[in-house]
Amino acid sequence: MIPQEIMKTLSVSPPSRIVLLVMDGVGGLSEGKGTPLEVAETPFLDTLAARGVLGQTDPVSPGITPGSGPAHVSLFGYDPIRYQIGRGILEATGIGMLLGPDDVASRGNFASMDGDGLITDRRAGRISTEENRRLIEMLSSEIKEIEGVEVILKTVKEHRFVVVFRGEGLDGSLADTDPQKTGAPALDPAVLDPAAERTADIVKEFIRRANRVIGDEKPANTMLLRGFSRLPDLPSMEELFHLCPAAIATYPMYRGLAGLVGMEILEGGETIADEFEAMKNNWDRFDFFFIHIKKTDSYGEDGDFAAKVRVIEEVDPFIPVLLKLDPDVIAVTGDHSTPCLLKSHSWHPNPLLIWSKYVRRDWTEHFTEAECTRGGLGRLPAREVMPLMLANGLKLEKFGA
Amino acid sequence: MIPQEIMKTLSVSPPSRIVLLVMDGVGGLSEGKGTPLEVAETPFLDTLAARGVLGQTDPVSPGITPGSGPAHVSLFGYDPIRYQIGRGILEATGIGMLLGPDDVASRGNFASMDGDGLITDRRAGRISTEENRRLIEMLSSEIKEIEGVEVILKTVKEHRFVVVFRGEGLDGSLADTDPQKTGAPALDPAVLDPAAERTADIVKEFIRRANRVIGDEKPANTMLLRGFSRLPDLPSMEELFHLCPAAIATYPMYRGLAGLVGMEILEGGETIADEFEAMKNNWDRFDFFFIHIKKTDSYGEDGDFAAKVRVIEEVDPFIPVLLKLDPDVIAVTGDHSTPCLLKSHSWHPNPLLIWSKYVRRDWTEHFTEAECTRGGLGRLPAREVMPLMLANGLKLEKFGA
């Protein structure tokens, strides 16, 4: 991949518009009759494939199954090895928290502990979100600051919450306190880098005080913390690519990820139709749109083949809706594959379709994994999709004389 | 790509011969009936494709449109990011100047300036090459040296010339003096790195003196300098690949580029026939021939589809001429694509054909972009073409035991 410093100097801003349509986890495996993409009736995607060029991408590298963080970081044009996003940061951005460089974020689970201090339930019986809110309120009013470090607590869902430690000189190089089994005590946050020693002390003190505040509650009388991390030092898409980008996503995590690279988050509603409506309503304000379809991944994770097919078929008729807006470049792809057979993210490459006036056609005719393996783009790291989209939008100048 | 230090240790020199035939900018886009390569009748290239193996290459990386410098540096087997060639160096080598490590070269435009020192024409009405020669002669006889630094001036064409500053401790980290618009004064050469401060002073003094020498001329009474640069520290092809290489090119820039990596420049005449004749006449003296066909690019830049087709068809019958010389390896490719639709270099990959006794055939049958996307070589960085050519010439030993 071309170095960021050079990329910055090549990027220009003609009035062309790029749409990156991500069907999360869309790539799959055949279960008899074909993959969901092969089984789905997608006349509009197929026409776009026939007029565009296909390929397949590796989110990180061949054989590596990515989480949503690295998978999106790649699609946005960044090196997912260089820019790793910690779980705490991901969770915090996922609920819309605005983090700064002095913050260490961690995921928290409310948990149950017996009289001997042994964990009896790592999720406190998945308490209700309401109960979670009540506990967070109690904790927030009792613990606002520790040794000059601000403590910020937010409910996520059920037993899950986020805690952010805000103060100078903090470091997220700490191991999880979750013992990963019941019948064992919660761990102290082990220091993975000497720079995190003070942070470890503050976290320990936080847990001590928190256990005192909610010690008499039931079933959630303690907590387990995981994924301590700080913001990666990501340059914005505006800085790197001279884009004015917007994100449309119904799930908080993807809005959070888009926020990390400086996209403006548009209110997208709940349905796919809502999302395309949001794009239409904001068409004149941006030159790059990331539109995220969640359910292809959800049904892949559920192993629900038929439902995944239905989501793909639901997206298909929005291609002409999109084309009516007269975009200059459309890329359709996944962030990673989620085969129903595996019920999880997988290492299989993403199918990729790029359409513009300037693509070199490859005579493929269907947007399927198999056709993508025969596509003119070949097999690429996913982080090359951004330079390709920019090039097709005539947004990159020549490198060298 | 394998590191240079290892490459050196693997390269050997059996008596095999490699021919790298570059049709500049040959890759294109379809305009209805297909790309120029698809429309052209090329029975001999197609036969070579059927017997060889195809693929596609990225000069720099996907989506990046290269200038001729990085595009050729890649084809010659070098990393185009590591070895960047400045515009001044490119222009100087393009007119056959032999540069050394103590030289800073710059492109110059003769320009017109009014009584207030404001630029009125950045190209001095594109004066004739003859007038340019007269001015360069005046300047050369008046300005030979500044503070121990030799000043060398050469006419390029019309308003364009080259100035080389030769002396120890010079540095090319200077901004252009061209204000990029009329009605503004020429800029002083801004220092981009403190190491270039002395060079800046010398350039300023040069411009001061030059303005005095040609101040009363019309319309060219001043100059604008651009692309200050020094030679990249390129190891030679002999050093890296143990080759004895020759270059045949009708245009100076490509002869210059070949010279930078230590190729011997053969007199090639003007026509494609002349170029192949030069190869034949020097066949015994070299084991690597770079033969450059310019016009595919020129007609691409003109947007002249039919003429680009004609050039490809003109090259085709020289394939049997070449085969009669009994080469061991032939590679046919472009340095970058130049689609008529864009009238400029583009980011689309190059079609690549490699023929030798040892290629693994891929059952492709035409030398076209689309066939190349299905070729057995897949999609590669262009700098991998050199190791592949060497390997097919049995010029690389085994790596490791």
pLDDT digits (tens, 9 = 90+) for A188-246: 999 999 999 999 999 999 999 999 999 999 999 999 999 999 998 899 999 999 999 99
Instruction: Check whether A96 has a pLDDT greater than 90.
Output: no
Burial A194-213 (b: 16+ CB within 10 A, else e): eebebbbebbeebbeebeeb
How near does any CA of chain B get to the CA of A152, in Å?
43
Q: pLDDT value at position B363?
A: 87
Number of Cβ within 10 Å of residue B285's Cβ equals 10
Query: Where are any strands of DSSP class E within A282-335?
Result: 288-293, 329-333
Instruction: Check whether A171 has a pLDDT greater than 80.
Output: yes
Q: Is A98 on the interface with B (CB under 8 A)?
A: no
Both tokens of residue A235? 């340059």
Q: pLDDT value at position A169?
A: 93
Q: Is A380 on the interface with B (CB under 8 A)?
A: yes
CB contact under 8 A, A398 and B69: no
Q: pLDDT value at position A372?
A: 97
Give the span between the Cα atoms of B61 and B55, in whole angstroms.
Answer: 15
Instruction: Check whether A256 has a pLDDT greater than 90.
Output: no
Interface test with B, best of A18, A329, A360, A388 (most B CBs within 10 A): A360
How near does any CA of chain A get to the CA of B14, in Å?
34
Q: pLDDT value at position B301?
A: 94
DSSP B184: S
How near does any CA of chain A get to the CA of B86, in Å?
7
Give the span between the Cα atoms of A158 and A54, in whole angstroms.
Answer: 41
Instruction: Check whether B341 has a pLDDT greater than 90.
Output: yes
Q: pLDDT value at position A202?
A: 97
Give the span between the Cα atoms of B292 and B153, in whole angstroms.
Answer: 28
Closest CA to A117 of A180, A176, A187: A187
Q: What is the pTM of this model?
A: 0.90
Instruction: Check whether A268 has a pLDDT greater than 80.
Output: no
- What's the mean per-residue pLDDT of chain A? 95
Amino acid letter for position B46: D
Instruction: Check whether B201 has a pLDDT greater than 80.
Output: yes
Q: pLDDT value at position B115?
A: 94
Q: Is B347 on the interface with A (CB under 8 A)?
A: yes
Instruction: Check whether A93 has a pLDDT greater than 90.
Output: no
Tell me the helix, strand and coil percentages in chain B, rounded to 5: 35, 20, 45
Measured between CA atoms, the residue of chain A closest to residue B227 is A401
CB contact under 8 A, A401 and B65: no
pLDDT tens-digit series, residues B223-281: 999 999 999 889 999 999 999 999 999 888 898 899 999 999 998 788 999 999 999 99
Q: Which of B29, B66, B370 sits opposite A398 (nearest CB)?
A: B66
Helix (H) or strand (E) holding B314: helix B305-315
Contacts A–B by Cβ distance under 8 A: 93
Q: pLDDT value at position A251?
A: 85
Q: pLDDT value at position B144?
A: 96
pLDDT tens-digit series, residues A340-363: 999 999 999 999 999 999 999 888
What is the mean pLDDT of the segment spanning A280-307? 97
Q: pLDDT value at position B256?
A: 87
**Bigger pLDDT: A249 vs B96:** A249
How near does any CA of chain A get to the CA of B277, in Å?
30
Distances (CA, A) of A180 to A164, A211, B352: 22, 19, 54
Both tokens of residue A98? 């605005």
CB contact under 8 A, A396 and B63: yes
- 8 A C-beta contact, residue A371 and residue B42: no
Q: Which residues contact A284 (CB under 8 A, 6 or more apart)?
A: none
Number of Cβ within 10 Å of residue B96's Cβ equals 12
Q: pLDDT value at position B268?
A: 73
Strands A245-249 and A288-293: parallel
% of chain B with per-residue pLDDT over 90: 90
Q: pLDDT value at position B31?
A: 87
What is the mean pLDDT of the segment spanning A20-32? 96
Alpha carbon dihedral A227, A228, A231, A232, in 10-degree steps, equals -60
- 8 A C-beta contact, residue B372 and residue B55: yes
Measured between CA atoms, the residue of chain B closest to residue A400 is B67
Measured between CA atoms, the residue of chain B closest to residue A397 is B65
Number of Cβ within 10 Å of residue B62's Cβ equals 24
Measured between CA atoms, the residue of chain A closest to residue B253 is A401
The A residues from 199 to 218 touching B (CB cutoff 8 Å) are none
Q: What is the ipTM of this complex?
A: 0.89
Give the span between the Cα atoms of A337 and A333, in whole angstroms.
Answer: 10
pLDDT tens-digit series, residues B271-307: 999 999 999 999 999 999 999 999 999 999 999 999 9
**With the C-alpha atoms ordered A86, A88, A89, A93, is the resulting torsion angle positive or negative?**
positive
Give the span between the Cα atoms of B80 and B72, in whole angstroms.
Answer: 9
